[in-house]
Amino acid sequence: MSSDKNKSAELVKEYLSSWKIGKVVELALKDEEVLLTLFRLLREEDDELKIRALTALEDVFKALPDVKQLIFVERFLDDLIKLLESDNDNVLIHTIRAIGRLIEGVPLQPGKFVELAHAFKNLVKSRKNEAVLLEIPSVLKVMRPTSYTPQLMDAISRLLKSSNLRLKAMGLRLLLNAGSFTGNPSVMKTFFSEVYYALLEREDAPLVDFCLDLILEVVHYPLRDEFMDEVAHVLTAVKEIALRKNSELAEKAKTVAEELELAICRYYSQNPEKAKEKIHELLINERFYEAIDLALAVGDGYILKWLADVLEELGKETLIVNQRILPGPKYVSVPPEKKAQRHLRPPTISKFIERKKSVIETLSRELASGGGLTKEEKDTLERALRAGDEKTLIELSKKRIEVVFELLRKLENGDKFEKMDALWAFSKLAEKIEPEAVFILEPAVDDLLRVAHSTKNRWMRQRASKTLALLASKSKNGARIVREFLDDYLSGDLKRVVPALEFFSYYFERNWDENIAKAVLSRLSDYLRREETRFDALLTLEGLVRMAPPEKAGLLLPFVSVLKEVKKSAPYQDQKLAIRILEGIASKVKLR
């Protein structure tokens, strides 16, 4: 038995030394002894060997079925947490990524949750390399406790009380995770309350920005009467930011306020009298602005008239109601009279190009014309979109390709929120669906390309680009998507270059295509030097560095000098990225 272990260890070491990660992953998924060998290697002194073992484990965890993933969390999470005490930044980076892969989708027991939170807190407090700290948020996002306990709440409370903004943000993230996953209203009440106080710290712009991101997430979860007071607090705080002149976060706050108002409207839509009671309660407590904001969110004409009368009786100027109305969204929904004309689009050049329709296209058209989803199926889809229920979305789409056409209808003709829901759904389908089933998404490619190229809403544009990058890596027609963005990239027209850079930043996260890489690299130095394109160019270069085989490191060396320029003079966010990329290039050069 001992000789078998030794043979397994030597074989794994040999493959890792040759950078044959794929071979090690294949063996580890078949043979548990190989997997155990990888974990034993984490205890060795050789940091380079640890990094390669961790890289292999990331791919192993990604391929695990749910049941095995749960077992692996129980057996191996402690080993990875122990490794977070390493002094080597690259070991830490790969350990954090491996933990993220391992726990994604698996709720943690409260004790393990707290242990991992403490480990990350210690990393932040130790002021590690910025590249290490940047890896932590993506793992925090997938940390979910099975239940909340006094010990867990105490750990989160300590983070929230910290004067360190990173630790406070970590506490808010974990509090949201605990509340949204367990469904405990008292935790969500605490979350909204903490977010409200954080929003009042206006001089801490990064923390306020982070809170706005969290609110955009939480609006997809069901609201409850137990914490509607706190929701009203938060809505007013967000609108105060949106209404402030010369605020860099004003536009984002408007979007967040609109999303939160929509969630409140959904909550009270079936019971406007309940909304009236809550507004009356706010008025009694002289919380006038919150009462007005809540009434505007509910949008019921009767309630608004009643509120105006009450304010007049109280001697309050009714004009302040109008002052609380935010400027209209930049991307308004299609007016009803226009919806009837949605098929009368001006033809594009591609419409005049004769091409043979594929079986998939023909089938899709037939299914679309043969009747849409039933009312029950539409309701199921709507619930899945509101709750962010990926599993139901995927199962329904596999059974009924009409789901894709319903999502396309939302993307083409829905209001802003329906468009965002549709984009979220397409990105999740592209990410989770198997390659052999990805053909069901092909009817969406043209509309996704349109969004990726046309909208000024960066979130929508990037979501479309990410989805297209996933489709390009899975679909048989992926070359067409890549070719279209490459043409944009090489055009030199900044309006086309920026969407192309956004696409390639996602595309090179999971693909290495040397010919495409060389074409992108040929112009990348110019875009790294231009302020308008620098950030997206850095993200694209980071993906290229990560995916490039060590023997191709020579392609990356010409960028060292321009990255050093960025590190010296660019904005802080760009500097962090440049440092991380320089470290990645150095690592690849060492492995040659």
Residue by residue, pLDDT tens for the chain (592 residues) are 455 566 667 788 888 877 888 888 888 888 888 888 888 888 888 888 889 989 888 888 888 777 778 888 888 899 999 999 998 999 999 999 999 999 988 889 999 999 999 999 999 988 767 888 889 999 999 999 988 888 999 999 999 998 899 999 999 999 999 988 777 888 899 999 999 999 987 677 889 999 999 999 988 888 888 898 899 899 989 988 888 766 788 889 888 988 898 888 888 877 777 888 888 888 777 777 788 888 888 876 666 667 776 766 666 554 455 555 554 333 333 333 333 333 323 233 233 233 334 333 444 444 444 456 788 888 888 888 877 778 888 888 888 888 888 888 888 888 777 887 888 888 888 888 888 778 888 888 888 999 888 756 667 788 888 899 999 888 877 888 998 899 888 888 888 898 999 899 888 888 888 889 999 999 999 999 988 888 889 989 998 988 888 888 888 888 899 999 988 887 776 787 888 888 888 887 765 5
Tokens 């969407």: give the residue.
Answer: 499
For 84, the token pair is: 């977070």
* Residue 279 CB-half CA count within 13 A: 27
Integer Cα distance of 331 and 420 in angstroms:
11
| Predicted local distance difference test score (pLDDT) of residue 191 | 93
Mapped onto helix, strand or coil, the DSSP state of residue 272 is helix
Rounded to the nearest 5 degrees, what angle is found at the Cα of 581, between the Cα atoms of 580 and 584? 90
Integer Cα distance of 235 and 256 in angstroms:
9
| Predicted local distance difference test score (pLDDT) of residue 297 | 81
Tokens 């199921």: give the residue.
Answer: 380
Q: Are 420 and 258 in contact (CB under 8 A)?
A: no
| Predicted local distance difference test score (pLDDT) of residue 341 | 31
What's the per-residue H, E or C state across 24-64?
HHHHHHHCHHHHHHHHHHCCCCCHHHHHHHHHHHHHHHHHC
Please provide the distance, in angstroms rounded to a whole number, between the alpha carbons at the two ends of the chain: 36
Mapped onto helix, strand or coil, the DSSP state of residue 316 is coil
Strand segments, DSSP code E, in 212-312 are none
Integer Cα distance of 339 and 414 in angstroms:
9
Mapped onto helix, strand or coil, the DSSP state of residue 145 is strand
Integer Cα distance of 384 and 4 in angstroms:
49
Mapped onto helix, strand or coil, the DSSP state of residue 155 is helix
For 411, the token pair is: 């993307």
Calculated CA dihedral for residues 87, 93, 97, 103, nearest 10 degrees: 30
Q: What phi and psi values does residue 108 have, to the nearest 5 degrees?
A: -100, 145
| Predicted local distance difference test score (pLDDT) of residue 156 | 93
Integer Cα distance of 7 and 28 in angstroms:
14
DSSP conformation class of 107: P
Tokens 């925090």: give the residue.
Answer: 140
| Predicted local distance difference test score (pLDDT) of residue 313 | 65
Beta carbons within 10 angstroms of residue 145's beta carbon: 24
Beta carbons within 10 angstroms of residue 573's beta carbon: 11
Integer Cα distance of 197 and 377 in angstroms:
41
Integer Cα distance of 212 and 464 in angstroms:
22
Q: What is the DSSP string of 354-404?
A: --PPPHHHHHHHHHHHT----HHHHHHHHHHHHHT-HHHHHHHHHH-THHH
